[in-house]
Every structure is written in structure tokens, then in C-alpha cells.
Structure 1
Amino acid sequence: MTQTQEKQPLIAHIKALRTALIIAVAATAAAFVVLFYVFREPLIDFVLAPVRLRGIEVIATAVSEALMMQFKTCLVAALVVAMPVIIWQIWSFVAPALFPNEKRTFVVIFAATLLLFIAGVVFCYLYVFPLTINLFWEASEGVATAMWSVEAYFSFVLSFVLPFGLMFDLPVVVYMLARRGKVSYRGMAKNRKFFILGIAAIAAILTPPDAVSQMMLMVPMILLYEISAQTTRFVKKKEVVSIAA
């Protein structure tokens, strides 16, 4: 094979990657334009709802702060709206290099990662985040008037909600680690009590002093841990079957 022939596959991959990136960026840009000029106000109202419902005043401490907050909100929303196109482009680039069994595994893992991430973000924003806002709001009563910077608030939303989405991907991460022999069911079972104690402590801090609110936070987290632990048993069984075969 000549040097020119060896370079052709690499050039084809680079062109395919460039095409995928252009389409993904174009879809995100188109979604951003529509959201910014048509749906900006409903989006901002949605993001600020947790503080406005509690009468907390949100202020802009810099000339461009309010505009930048709107820009970032619409950009994040545009990424969410364009996600199907982005995922399709990732798949169109990766799929040709995979064997049929690898394609199935990739699709399952990718879909599980995305769905669990979305579930974590929704759970956090609708339940955990309001509890956290209540905690900070009540802490400021009688000490200072709650007036939060709009830029700082938006950064807080992202820094709080996104890690929750990543945390919900724990079963996928554990599954991948278990396939490589890095974690085991015995190890996760041994550390279960420490995890439950940690979640109970977090729930006691964030939630009101009643059992229902604390259980609403603890139960999903404990279930997440148990699902993660069970994935390690599933991997082990598959390995035993494959070795026996």
C-alpha cells in the first residue's frame, strides 16, 4: 500500500468529522437564534421561578450581566434542543468503525447515559434545587436582605444541577468499571452503609425536618446505588457464562 493510499482513510475520517461538527454547530446555532428571539422570556421565567416564588430579588451588578445571563440560558437550552441532531452526528461518525455487537453495546450505553442524565437534571431542578434555595433563603432571614446577582444565580444553577445529572449516570460508570474488573458487588455491598449514612446526612441538611421530605431525597439516591451494585452482578454472570462457553 502506498503512502497516498494510507492517507486516504485518514482524510476521509477528517472530512466526516468536519461534516458532523458543522451540522451539530449549525443545529445548535439555529436553535439558539429561535430560542433567543422567540422563547427567551419564558426560558428566563422558568430559570428564575425558584427565587421569584420566594420573593427573592435578583439584581444585575454589571452593565452586561442581565444580557449575558439570557445569552447563556438560551445557549444551554439550544444545546438541549439540538441534542438529537448532535447525537445523530456522533453516531454517524462512530458507527462505521464498530462491529455489529459493538454497535448494540454503544447504543445501549449511550442511551442509558443520556436518559439517566436527563432524569438527574429533572429530579434535581424540580425537587432538590428548590430545597437548597429554601435553605439559603431561610439562612439569610434576619441576617441580610436576600438580593442575589443574576449571573451568580445562573452559575449556581448550572454548578448544582449538572453534577446531579452526572451522578445519575453512576450505574453506567459502575457497569463500565465492572467490565474492567475495577469494582465488584462485594465491594459495593460492603460500602453500602457508608453511602446510606452520607445520603441521610445530606437529606437532613437540605430537607425540612420531616420524614417524608427526607425519604423523597434518600430513596432515589439509594435506589441508584442499588441499581449500580446490581450491574456488577450482571457483568460477573456474563463473564462466567462466556468463560464456560
Structure 2
Amino acid sequence: MKRKEDSKNNNYDSMSFTDHLEELRQRLLNSIYSILICIFFSFLIIKPLISFLEIPASDIHLLQLAPGEFLFVAIKVAGYSGIIVSIPYIFYQLILFISPGLTKKEKNLILPAVFGSGLLFFLGLIFSWWILVPAAINFFINFGADIVEPTWSIERYFDFVLLLMSSTAIAFQLPVLQFILGSLGIITTEKMLSNWKIVVISSAILSAVITPSTDPLTMSLLSISIIFLFFVGAGLTYISESLKSKTLSSSH
């Protein structure tokens, strides 16, 4: 096994800069092809997909206010769906590209981080879909319900839902960032926890920035989730530091 691994590393080291660029080009093309294919198949089932995304707005009349508005919505939904569905394959292409040139120590850091990033991305989508989107929509329906009837533009509705879901998924990458910084020794768990007050304030500001609505309920839920993810990241960093110290002590 060791000879095979050494042979792979030697083959990787013997590759020229042009070979690396060619491999990178091929990985990028594979990723782009996967996105286009997923967008195509998403467009084939676009009506059931849109009906599914309209579930939180079941009590709201969604209107097409301009010619072609529904077509543009369909293209947006297919685009977002295609990118999301193809993310596991894109991460797979990324791992195939970077893993041959990594040492065993670097693989133990990068590969779990890449896997964790993809997992947290989908958890962010699920959290926003089940928690944030219904909470925000119910807030807007109930606020002023006795004065105005909720009738929304279908394009504005999907802009709101897609932006909220994607921004939440990106915010869920915080523990991965903490894990990488902690594993590289750039920041320690003690330093992270000592700045918890700054994190609380920053989470409130970040929630206000990335949340497409201005309702306090959605921003509060997102802010609380970011704070929770921060402590999860601090816990992962602590585990990484403990494993590193045990390895150093055993080597001595």
C-alpha cells in the first residue's frame, strides 16, 4: 500500500505546470457539465418543483404581474436547483484534484473540511426551508392581516425564498472555517471563546445583512443559529487541538 501511495505521489510530482492546468480545466469542465445537466433536468420538473417551493405560501395569492414573469421564475428556480444538486459532484471533483498533492496530515485536515462544508451547506438549506422561510412568511401574513390582503408577486416571493435559503446555507459554513483556522494554529479555542460577545453582536449584524426580509423573527432565528454554529466550531477546534497535543506527546 505504501509503495502504491509513493508511486501516486511521484506521478503527481512529475506532472508539469501545464499538466496541472489541464487537469484543473478538466475538473472545472466536469463541474460545469454537471451543473448544466442538473439545471436541464430541474427544468423538466420545474412545475412540481415550483409547487413544492410554494408550500409555505399556501395562504397567499401569488400573481404573475408582467409577461414572462413565471418564465423568469422557472429559470431562476432551475438554476438554483441545478447548482445545489450538483454540489456533491463538484466537491468530489475538488477532492480528486487536490488530494494527490496533499500530505497525510493535510488530507486529515482538508478532506473532512470539504465533506463537512457540503454537509453543512445542505443542513443550512434544510434549516432555512423548515424554520426560517415559514417563520418569515407567517410574520408577513399576520402583520397587517386585518388591513391588507396578502397578494404577492411570484417573482418577488421566489427571490425572497431562494436568497434566504442560499444565504443561510453559506452562513452555515462558519464551523468549517473555525476548524480550518484552529487546525492551522491561526486561532485557538480559548481565543474564540473569549470573543463570544463580539460573535453575538456580529451574528446579529450578519443576520440583518444576509436576510432578505427585515422582520425581527427571521433575523433572531438566524442569529441564534449562527451563535450555535460558532460554539459547534469551537468544539471541533478543541477536539482538533486535543488530538494534536496527544500526537505530540506520544511522539516524544
TM-score of the alignment, normalized to the shorter chain, above 0.5:
yes
Task: Tell whether 2:213 aligns with 1:206.
Answer: no
Match of 1:229 among 231, 234, 239: 234
Where 2:67 maps in the other structure, the secondary structure is: coil
2: CA distance between counterparts of 1:87 and 1:190?
33
Q: Normalising by structure 1, report the TM-score.
A: 0.77
2: CA distance between counterparts of 1:15 and 1:218?
43
Inter-CA distance 36–226: structure 2 relative to 1 (3 Å threshold): same
Q: Show structure 1 runs of 4+ deviating over 4 A.
A: 191-200, 216-223, 241-244
2: CA distance between counterparts of 1:100 and 1:181?
17
Aligned to 2:19: 12
Superposed CA RMSD in Å reads: 3.1
Aligned to 1:45: 51
Inter-CA distance 19–126: structure 2 relative to 1 (3 Å threshold): same
Aligned to 2:123: 119
1: CA distance between counterparts of 2:246 and 2:164?
42
- Which amino acid is the alignment partner of residue 35 of structure 2? T
Match of 2:108 among 81, 104, 107: 104
Where 1:58 maps in the other structure, the secondary structure is: strand
Between Structure 1 and Structure 2, how many residues are aligned?
Answer: 226
Aligned to 1:22: 29
Aligned to 1:161: 165
Task: Tell whether 2:43 aligns with 1:36.
Answer: yes
Further displaced range: 122-131 or 147-156: 147-156
Task: Tell whether 2:72 aligns with 1:61.
Answer: no
2: CA distance between counterparts of 1:84 and 1:188?
30
Where 1:145 maps in the other structure, the secondary structure is: coil
Q: Residues 132-147 of structure 1 correspond to what in structure 2 (within 5 A)? A: 132-147=136-151
Task: Tell whether 2:142 aligns with 1:131.
Answer: no
Q: Deviation at 1:57?
A: 1.4
Inter-CA distance 235–43: structure 2 relative to 1 (3 Å threshold): same
The 8 Å contact of residues 36 and 74 in structure 1, kept in 2 or not, is answered as yes
Further displaced range: 216-225 or 41-50: 216-225
For structure 2, the residue ranges without an aligned partner over 5 or more in a row are: 1-14, 208-214
Where 2:149 maps in the other structure, the secondary structure is: coil
Q: Deviation at 1:130?
A: 0.3
